[in-house]
Structure 1
Amino acid sequence: MKSKHFPKSFKWGVTISSYQNEGAYNTHGKGPSIWDTFTNRKSFKKGNGNTATDFYSNYKTDLDHVKALHLDSFRFSLSWSRIFPEGVGEVNPEGVAFYHDVIDYALKIGIEPWVTLYHWDLPQALQDQGGWTNRDILGWFEAYVNFCTKEYGLKVKTWIILNEPMSFIGLGYFMGMHAPEKKRLKNFLPAAHHATLCQSLGGRLVRKNVENAIIGTTFSCSYVRPLNRRVIHKKAAVRIDALLNRFFIEPALGMGYPIDAFAGLDFMSKYIKPGDEDLMPFDFDFIGVQYYFKIVAKFSLLPPILFATEVPAEKRNVKINAMNLEIYPKGLYKMLEQFNTYSGVKDIYITESGVCFEDDIEDGKIQDKNRINYFKKTFKYTLKAIENKIPVKGYFIWTLVDNFEWAEGTKPRFGIIHTDFNTQKRTIKKSGLWLKSFLSKRK
């Protein structure tokens, strides 16, 4: 397999996010986000994103690396609280100017900017009013998206509305593992429904404000298999698949929530107001698939309603990454197949895929053989999908530089470029050099 085997129009990009990379958490008028609050509390022991990779100061260096590695697209997110410090109201001109600078420099060196409007860092001022559980977020989000699309829409043509709604809602408003540390269905259900509405609301605003816009949204997904052939485990896998892989895409396609999978989702009706079902769908130009690991499901009495749980990868004698999740590149192909079964899906982009390992340093160099093998396999399955008429139009690597990996801190390293968090020195890993060689042959 060589890069020239891919269509000439195929996009090769890399993805970062505002909180994980920018740093400058209280600089030039930026307001606090829920992640600033979460990581700066005394009980959190894995560091914070106050500096992160200091993209705020190093954006030209990082974009130069994107260009040098022969990538053509750069996906990044806007920090809502850098633009609106209080979430709504007064605009922060220095925050607005920063993103103009990033976009302008990307365009100057021939890199296409892709903007993600929301990548998890909700302004703390809005969380103080209930955050995603408060239906008022529809108005807050509308004002934010309306401003951003009018401000940057002449320069940016590809827009992503939400990054992985199941991740930030499930981990932040049900399991309490991520900011803002909320738990229980009473938080999850309204937050999930409001995210569904905002997903399509954002799409409609981009369509209205940006001429010739290409609009998408992204979904986290995991390839789910039952523990064995027993019916109870098969049904458990169906429920987990519905929650992780179907929950947000099906409403966007006009199919409603996947209540067929398990009765517990009927509780959503409490939060669905008259007219909402007409507001949930949007005709996206593409969807983003974000794949990292496989899940093996089994029946369990806990949690209730779902009655299913995951069998930990470290107990299954499989290859795992630095976060103890199963490495299963073929699962990417399986998920591309699954999303392609929806008649409403047009184009598909792999908007994130990557793997984290501890650095393999030999003779002072980062060898990175495992990450190279991962990319070789996922690129192979991506090409197989294209050959089988699945409309995959691009692959965005997670991520450019080792960054602040949310609740896991800086230990998991996903970057194709090593970050020394003490000095902010960047060193291209062997995986980055391999990628550069791979992409150089497509010309």
Structure 2
Amino acid sequence: MAAYAEPGFSTRQVHAGSATAPATPRATPIYLTAGFTFGDLDASAAHFGTGSGFGYTRTGNPTVQAVEERLASLEGGDQAVLVSSGQAAVTVALLALAGAGDHVIVSEHIYEGTRGLLLDNLVRLGIETTFVDTSDLDAWRDAITPRTRAFFAETLSNARNDVLDVAAISAIGREHGIPLVVDSTFTTPYLLRPIEHGAAVVVHSASKFLAGQGAVLGGVIVDDGRFDAAASGHRFPHLVQTDRLGGASFAEKHGARARGAYIRESVAPRFGPAPSPLNAFLIGQGIETLSLRVERQSQNALAVARWLEARPEVERVDYVGLESHPHFALGQRYLTRGSGSVFTVTLRGGLEAARHVVQSVRLITHMTHLGDVRSLVLHPQSTSHSARTVEERERAGVFPGTIRLSIGIEDIADILADLEQALVGVPAAERETVVL
């Protein structure tokens, strides 16, 4: 028998060192790999047959799974699915519920990217949307049709800071077998866990508070694991009917976990917004300090909001932590740990006053983002809400002199000092016409 020759250079540069010694790291390891090896043919067959183990990062990865389990626990949900961005999370959640000919009811006070998804993209797939005022419970109820497949809203509205009455709206949905999907990016599971109040699905842009450092993109969908086939099966035939090969339905295979399983096994992997394991790792690292950051940010934001409300240059401050906000009482009921750190301020001097402040801040960063450890500022009329009509912007609380602040963890004295110097020389103008 011929002696085994040492592999050639090209072979060794690919394979040498791949069999490393086992180790048990304290930090979550980064499994930065497209795929995983199988021990034998039966293992690969089992993976494709039942989903056991790991085969390809698009369908499952140990780093990603660790972060998913942590988020499901923090939200009080049954299971979480991590995806590549917050926009992907919203898209996957809605496509898991609605298809051609279906209908969704949505708060009119939502992120513009989600609004565009509904008005420009999902409508081309035959999914229709009815927008309603977040606080008008009768409007939610009256908009329901036999084709309605979901309610969708955000915990805190952008930009007016209205609070979603999760319990009341989810109760309306349950009467008709309709799940409430909640975007809880602004509040995080530290401030509010919508599933505890009746929401069925929660989504986040993990790029924001969950990651915290503004370095990565990610999104997550958390399902409550309470799908009721008897009450909701008529609205979701894809969950209760046999599959295209005549096999068991998702409800038969997974019971109350059917909706979450469908998101994980069918929608997310097939549309393909897989998160990078490196991004998942960084999101997981951020989550470890989530409560500390959000607590500090909420404290800072309340102090900034109170300070701004007393300034002569300011027309109004829309922060739900202020007693002057129309949803203050509702906020006190739902947001017992703090009111978050994102809110808007409308200056008396209109557009030129907003321009002056945005271009004069030194510590506060002018950029499109929120939930960062750094304080941020943006002018909604010319950016996030530029695609809306004047009437639509005013209903959302966006005027020419409105700026949006996302307060960070800096020393409060430094944040206030920056705002004070930025307000010096703010152009005077007539009072803004602000309709509450």
TM-score class normalised by the smaller sequence: under 0.3
Greater gyration radius: 2
Work out which structure has the larger RCO, using CA pairs closer than 8 Å and 6 or more positions apart in sequence: 1
Q: Provide the TM-score with structure 2 as the length reference.
A: 0.25
